[in-house]
Structure 1
């Protein structure tokens, strides 16, 4: 998973909020990018990219007439184009999500050149629309078509806004795709290590999994019945990547409460830390309210852009 995105109004204010509340590192100047329809900053939870390859991406609607396009890993992704179309349609995606408090720009999945070409051919044979962007390149596409177009079909991925991109653009060394999800030896006790999961709330888990299997040939690595919910874990080959977790409420409880509040879509961001008690002390020093129980540290979402974060031991 290339990025875990949060769609907000002001990326600069968002960075300062998360730096203060949970201690994300200050993004480098090159991590800020603008393109047609988007302003974005690619934040890290750990300073070393190969250690934590899934970015925390803050996104805001941008000027549709900005000539340069950039998305994904800032180290290498930059396309020049003269288009005036909102190639990365943050505003349109935000509008499609309505008044939802937790919004996201895309569920971005990276794959090899061969895999993305094969997937595009597979979708074409199925008659499933794809939206390449920029339109004159075949580097990346939205499943279901371009969300800014009238022909966008959310049934293609059950509204997850899946964006297929090429892993070769990420700028990662080859070994980073195979390295174990270990703890860096130099990390301090309170340090964040990497984003390990992004949860999405879904109305019908079977229907969502059926669409992902049919269109992406992607199946869960595990299915779990939990108290008040069902959970499917969608895996990635890179051990250090965040994973996608799809959660359906099945009875009263925390998941049902949040589903009633938010509806389907992106929900929690889970981050591993070296030592959970040390991170709790760090949050206390920052003045960030939290709860701690059953091995999960949860900062108050009111302090984290309304997006629930979870910390677990690495």
Structure 2
């Protein structure tokens, strides 16, 4: 967590034990797709977020502190009366959850992930980004600005998509990328056409991309190479080896300060 205060968790439904335990509803709201998310979890000032949502009349619900979590959690796009009625227009389809930094287990000091001496070549170091596909990038950006006070750090258009990138206060945190495919002739458009808007890829940063590629070859894991919209070479692992979830790997870069 000192290097990458962003987790990837693989989770599944459990028997419902609490009235506010709505994991099954969160999964069903995304329809069948290879990758579904319990939530895009933001660590922040929960009380201030609640105040803003209530003042703006934004659709949300609050899970009170309980046995599982010692402080409230805020879920965007649903209400207590309508837990199945997630509205993706409220938060750009992120299925956002806001928790306090204490719940996130964040350390007080962070290491620079670009300090290569600590990592062997071919090592996966951190989560660089999570990508979500959207049908209308402008509407998604407006919703996040109005309802969660999030503004993109950059907007770019490349040969296959329009993209909005969000970065956060802790430099090593993963970014969020919203992507609206613009070319019908791309893997991104194929995925969007088959599964629709929603969670897409996990982008991981490694030290020594070529060494990592050799390791994939040794493991017999098929992959392809391409150049991303920032001009970096990235590896795409065959999704039939990752339960349909796209994983991308890129060379690590210094974290923003």
Q: TM-score, normalised by structure 1?
A: 0.72
Provide the secondary structure at the position in 1 that maps to 2:155: strand
Residue number among 38, 41, 61 corresponding to 1:108 in the alignment: 41
- Runs of 5+ consecutive residues of structure 1 not aligned to the other structure: 1-48, 66-83
Partner of 2:171: 239
Distance of 1:246 and 1:289 partners within structure 2: 26
- Match of residue 14 from structure 2: 62
Distance 1:243 1:301, change over 3 A: same
Q: Which residue of 2 aligns with 1:311?
A: 249
Moved over 4 A (4+): 135-138
Alignment deviations for residues 40-66 of structure 1 (CA, whole Å, 9 cap, x no partner): xxxxxxxxx21122111111111102x
Matched, 1:256 2:194: no
Quick one: distance in 1 between partners of 2:164 and 2:100? 25
Are residues 1:220 and 2:152 paired?
yes
Question: For residue 9 of structure 1, what is the aligned residue in structure 2?
Answer: none
Would the aligned equivalents of 1:183 and 1:193 in 2 still touch at CA under 8 Å? no
Count matched residues.
242
Q: 2:59 aligns with which of 129, 132, 139?
A: 129
Q: Is the 8 A contact 1:181 1:239 kept in 2?
A: no
**Conserved 8 A contact 1:59-1:90:** no
Give structure 2 stretches of 5+ with no counterpart.
Answer: 228-232, 253-257
Residue 161 (1) aligns with residue 91 (2):
no
- 1:212 is displaced (CA, Å) by 0.3
- Residue of structure 1 in register with 2:240 after alignment: 302
TM-align CA RMSD: 1.9
Quote how far apart the aligned CAs of 1:273 are.
0.5
Task: Name the CA distance, whole Å, in 2 between partners of 1:225 and 1:161.
Answer: 24
In structure 2, what is the Cα distance between the partners aligned to 1:289 and 1:272?
A: 18
Distance 2:195 2:86 in 1: 22
Asked if 2 retains the 8 angstrom alpha-carbon contact of 1:183 and 1:274, the reply is no
